């Protein structure tokens, strides 16, 4: 009996690891940065996926209206909390996609887990969910790898049944936790001992809020504040260089997400050297034909997905599928054209 059980588990894990390996050989899709559809718990600076590169990011899309889901979601959130609470190289993002307020989202989550180190938000009309995962189905998570690419899109309800009859949800299963943390690092250098009075600035940096971290560091008289500011500045400069290379590479299928991220840096950093460097790339690129195609495909995709949210019968869903296939045929080389072909 035990041998059969272990064999069953090994088969599951082998399949998962093989699939993960296959992702590296298949077309890599970079995750788009968090968009304007998200209202965050902290109403200050919005976090940025660009700033979080190096970390593993697990984005959980949840809904409170589903009574059946509410029956198991508490255990899932608690298991995820326990699995990653001592892993600064991982950040959990929980986004409510079925409306309501931030207070509603926090109340729902706080009754299930300690989310003090998570990023919590409301994703209006599930817009970011659709652009990242290509679906609006109940309870999914997306694993974003340390390089910013999408490693996995999975139903959050997936679990393993252990010999004692207990359930371990996939995202919290030890082998999967090891996979998700592989090659991941905290945002800031791990060989630097940071003083306690820089904690708020460091916490902001580790949550992808660099401008907030810099402001807090500027107010500090701690001798390590300059080191912290230098580490953040270097991180931004490295991101700009990497994104610029992606935008300028006509063979890179993720150049549009790189363009959007550079645009975000330009807006965030304004007239600073970082802002000017990012804006220079954006300005020199924004009139190119491929950008116009990408923008048009994005608008069409978002329009279709809005209609998809109201498609509650077979005929409506068939029309949505037809629209997505048409979008893919019209803009096959764009980010959202490819996403339309994969939409669920």
Q: Mind listing the pLDDT tens digit for each residue in 171-210? A: 999 999 999 999 999 999 888 888 888 999 999 999 999 9
- 253 versus 169: the higher-pLDDT residue is 169
- Averaged pLDDT of the chain: 88
Q: What is the DSSP letter of 197?
A: G
- Helices 67-84 and 174-181 cross at an angle (nearest 10°) of 60
pLDDT at 14 over 80: no
The whole-number pLDDT of residue 49 equals 93
For 319, phi then psi, to 5°, come to: -65, -40
Q: What is the mean pLDDT of residues 239-248?
A: 95
| pLDDT band at residue 18 using 50, 70 and 90 as cut-offs | very low
Checking if the pLDDT of 23 tops 70, the result is no
What class, spelled out in words, does domain 2-181 have in CATH?
A: alpha beta
Report the pLDDT value the prediction gives residue 163, as an integer from 0 to 100. Answer: 84
Residue 153, phi then psi, degrees to nearest 5: -125, 120
The residues that bridge with 141 in the sheet, in sequence order, are 60, 154
As a whole number, mean pLDDT of residues 103-130 equals 94
As to burial, measured by CB atoms within 10 angstroms (0-12 exposed, 13-18 middle, 19+ buried), residue 134 is buried
Q: Which of 28, 35, 98 lies closest to 67 in space, CA to CA? A: 98
What is residue 86's DSSP assignment?
Answer: T
In sequence order, the 6+-apart residues with CB closer than 8 A to the CB of 30 are 148, 149, 150, 254, 257, 258
Calpha distance 291→336 (Å, rounded): 12
Lowest mean pLDDT among 66-80, 190-204, 265-279: 190-204
The pTM assigned to this predicted structure is 0.84
Q: Within 10 A of 176 (CB to CB), how many other CB atoms are there?
A: 23
């Amino acid at each position: 009996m035990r041998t059969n059980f272990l064999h069953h588990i090994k088969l599951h894990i082998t399949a998962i690891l093989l699939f993960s390996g296959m992702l590296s050989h298949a077309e890599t899709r970079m995750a788009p940065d968090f968009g304007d559809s998200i209202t965050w718990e902290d109403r200050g600076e919005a976090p940025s996926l660009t700033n979080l590169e190096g970390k593993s990011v697990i984005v959980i899309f949840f809904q409170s209206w589903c009574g059946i889901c509410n029956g198991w979601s508490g255990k899932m959130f608690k298991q995820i909390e326990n699995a990653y609470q001592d892993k600064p190289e991982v950040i959990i993002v929980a986004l409510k996609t079925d409306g309501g307020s931030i207070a509603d989202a926090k109340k729902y989550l706080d009754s299930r887990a300690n989310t003090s180190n998570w990023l919590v938000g409301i994703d209006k009309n599930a817009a970011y969910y659709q652009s990242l995962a290509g679906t609006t189905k109940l309870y999914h998570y997306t694993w974003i790898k340390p390089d910013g690419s999408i490693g996995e899109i999975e139903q959050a309800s997936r679990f393993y049944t252990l010999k004692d009859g207990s359930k371990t949800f996939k995202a919290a299963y030890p082998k999967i936790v090891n996979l998700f943390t592989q090659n991941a690092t905290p945002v800031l250098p791990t060989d630097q001992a940071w003083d306690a009075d820089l904690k708020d600035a460091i916490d902001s940096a580790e949550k992808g809020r660099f401008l907030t971290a810099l402001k807090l560091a500027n107010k500090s008289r701690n001798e390590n504040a300059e080191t912290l500011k230098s580490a953040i500045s270097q991180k931004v400069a490295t991101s700009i260089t990497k994104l610029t290379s992606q935008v300028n590479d006509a063979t890179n299928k993720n150049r549009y997400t790189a363009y959007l991220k550079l645009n975000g840096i330009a807006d965030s950093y304004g007239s600073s050297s970082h802002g000017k460097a990012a804006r220079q790339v954006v300005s020199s690129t924004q009139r190119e034909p491929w950008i116009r195609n990408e923008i048009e495909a994005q608008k069409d995709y978002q329009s279709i997905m809005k209609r998809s949210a109201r498609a509650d019968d077979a005929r409506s869903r068939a029309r949505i599928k037809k629209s997505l296939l048409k979008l893919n045929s019209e803009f096959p080389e764009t980010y959202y054209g490819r996403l339309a072909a994969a939409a669920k």
